Structure 1
Amino acid sequence: MTPVRVVIALCLTAPFVAMLWVGSYAKTDPAFIGIPFFYWYQMAWVLISTALTMTAYKLWQRDQRARRGGTR
C-alpha cells in the first residue's frame, strides 16, 4: 500500500471513528452560542467529513493519473 493510499484510508475512516466513539462527545459542555457540545460537535464533523472526503477523492484521482501515466 502506497503512502497516498494510507492517507486516503485515514481521511475516510476518521469520521467513522469520531462518530462511533460516542463517549468522547456525549456531554453538554462546552456550549457554543447556546448549542450543547453534543450537537455542535456532530455538526462540525459534517463539515470536516466533507473536507476529508473531498481530499481523499482528489488524492485518489491524482494517484490514478500517476499510475496510468507510469504504465504507458
Structure 2
Amino acid sequence: MSEQPDATGAAGVTPLRVVIALCLVAPFAAMLWVGSYAKTGPAFIGIPFFYWYQMLWVLISTALTMIAYRLWQRDRRDRGGREGGVPQ
C-alpha cells in the first residue's frame, strides 16, 4: 500500500516522521527517568554526576532538535513544499 496524501496534503506516519518524533521525545524521556541519574558519582572535573548529566543533555537536546528540524525540512521538500494543504 502506498502512502498517498489525503485532501490536506498530509501522508500520515512515515519512517522519517518517526525518527523526528524520537529525536524530540528522547530528551524528555531521559530527564523524566530521574532514578537513572539521581546519584553523585562518577564526578567529572569535580562536578557531581547529577549536575553534569543534566548539562550534557542540554547539548544533546540541542543537537537532536537541530536534526529533527533538518529532517522536517527534508520531509516538506520531498512532499513538494506542501504541509497542511497550504501551497508554498
TM range (shorter): over 0.9
Over 4 Å off, 4+ runs: none
Structure (1/2) with the larger helix percentage: 1
Identity of aligned residues (%): 84
Aligned length: 69
Q: For 2:48, which of 25, 36, 42 is the aligned residue?
A: 36
Which residue does the alignment assign to 1:26?
Answer: 38
For the residue of structure 2 that corresponds to 1:68, the secondary structure is: coil
Larger Rg: 2
1:7-58 alpha-carbon deviations (Å, 9 max, x no partner): 0000000000000000000000000000000000000000000000000000
Which residue does the alignment assign to 2:19?
Answer: 7
Which residue does the alignment assign to 2:64?
Answer: 52
Letter in 2 for 1:47: L
Deviation at 1:68, TM superposition (A): 1.1
Q: Using the alignment, how far apart are the partners of 1:43 and 1:33 within structure 2?
A: 13
Which residue does the alignment assign to 1:61?
Answer: 73
TM-score (structure 2 length as normaliser)? 0.77
Unaligned runs of 5+ residues in structure 1 are none
Unaligned runs of 5+ residues in structure 2 are 1-12, 82-88
